[in-house]
Structure formats: structure tokens, C-alpha cells
Amino acid sequence: MEKILEHTTEEFLQFQKIARFSRDIIITEKIDGTNAQVYITEYGDVIAGSRKRYITPSDDNHGFAVWVEGNKNELLKLGPGRNYGEWWGGPINRGYGLPKGEKYFSMFNTIRWCAYGETPARIHKEDPRIEKYQEILPECCRLVPVLYHGAFLTDKIEEALTDLQQKGSYAAPGFMNPEGIVIFHPAANICFKKTIKNDEIPKSFVT
């Protein structure tokens, strides 16, 4: 084996750390728009993106790049990095009863940010001695609505979905055809989605 190791050029890959299942989850409303991102480079360039590509005002996706260009100075407050969210409103997908041209960018990272005008909450850390607080979201942005934040309990997932179905969208109050929810597990850094319709267990999985 020693001789093999002397000549191998393969990089060693370790097994990834397993996240603890019994940690908090964050359930948010799944908005039916189009995936979008605002990428701010370390040089202060503001770039718009869709799910699969960068976009420009001349090669746009439902007007998102135009919106980014028009709100460049405000978006710079996000700081360097990639900021993901949903670009939604009339007439994108569900539309949410909004007139054509009324669109919003609702960001996914509800841990890092608090809505503009709200008081930043303390971010939970495993070590209670570490104090970290949310940042204030730029005025031109929104957050996806948080329906639950707490222990990973499957009952809470079903309750959030039922609440959304009965009360309608929290992103667009009065709109009674919301899509569903997203369950985010911060410890594992993974998301799951569950929709109100067409979310049955596939028959091939039922024994």
C-alpha cells in the first residue's frame, strides 16, 4: 500500500460530518414565482441571476435584472456574496392576485436577516456565550414568511401546511391558492419542500 500511495495523485476525500437530526427547523411559505439571486462581488459589482444563469436587462427573466439595476445602491447593503430568493408577483406563475408589474424579491435566508423596520433578533448558537444578531434587510427586499421556527417535529410540518391551506398566503394576504412550504434544517444545511397539492407518496413506494 505504501508504494501505491507514493504514486497516487488522487486527493484524499473524507466522509462528510453527519448532522444531528434533533435540531431546529424553519418552515417558510414556498412562494410560486421564479428563483433569483443577487450576486455582489468583492469589487462592488451587482449581478442578477436566475436559477441557471446570469441575466441582464436585455436578456432578462420576468424583469428581475431591470429591478436589480434600478435598486443597485440599496442592494449593495447586502454585502459581498450570493443572495438567493424568489422573484414573484403579477404575472409570474401563480401571480398572487397582483397586477402586472407589481413584483417582489423575497429572500430565503431568514436566519441572517430581519425585515426592514423590525428589531434584529439574536441568532441561536450552540455556545450561548456567542452573541450574534440578524442584519437589517435593505428596504427594497422582503423575506419569505416564516410559519414555524423550533424543534424538528413532524406535527409542526403538517400544522404549518394546514394553516397555509386554510388561511391562504402570508406573502400575499387574501390569496387563497398558496403553493406549500419549505422546511429548512440549518444543522444539515438542507431544504425540503412540501406542497398542498400533488405531494402524495408515490405508489411505487407503498408496499
pLDDT digits (tens, 9 = 90+) for 78-111: 999 999 999 999 999 999 999 998 999 999 999 9
Set of cell numbers at residue 135: 442584519
pLDDT of 205 reads 56
pLDDT of 123 reads 87
Q: What does pTM read for this prediction? A: 0.89
Residues 152-174 have a mean pLDDT of 96
Residue type, position 170, single letter: Y
85: Cα within 13 Å, side-chain hemisphere: 24
Q: How confident is the model at residue 203 (pLDDT cuts 50, 70, 90)?
A: low
Set of cell numbers at residue 196: 398542498
116: Cα within 13 Å, side-chain hemisphere: 12
Residue type, position 109, single letter: N
pLDDT of 83 reads 97
Least confident range from 14-18, 31-35, 93-97: namely: 14-18
Residues 31-39 have a mean pLDDT of 98
Q: Quick one: which of 35, 20, 13, 15 has its CA closest to 190?
A: 20
pLDDT tens, residue by residue, 42-72: 999 999 999 999 999 999 999 999 999 999 9
pLDDT tens, residue by residue, 97-152: 999 989 999 999 999 999 888 899 988 887 888 999 999 999 999 999 999 999 99
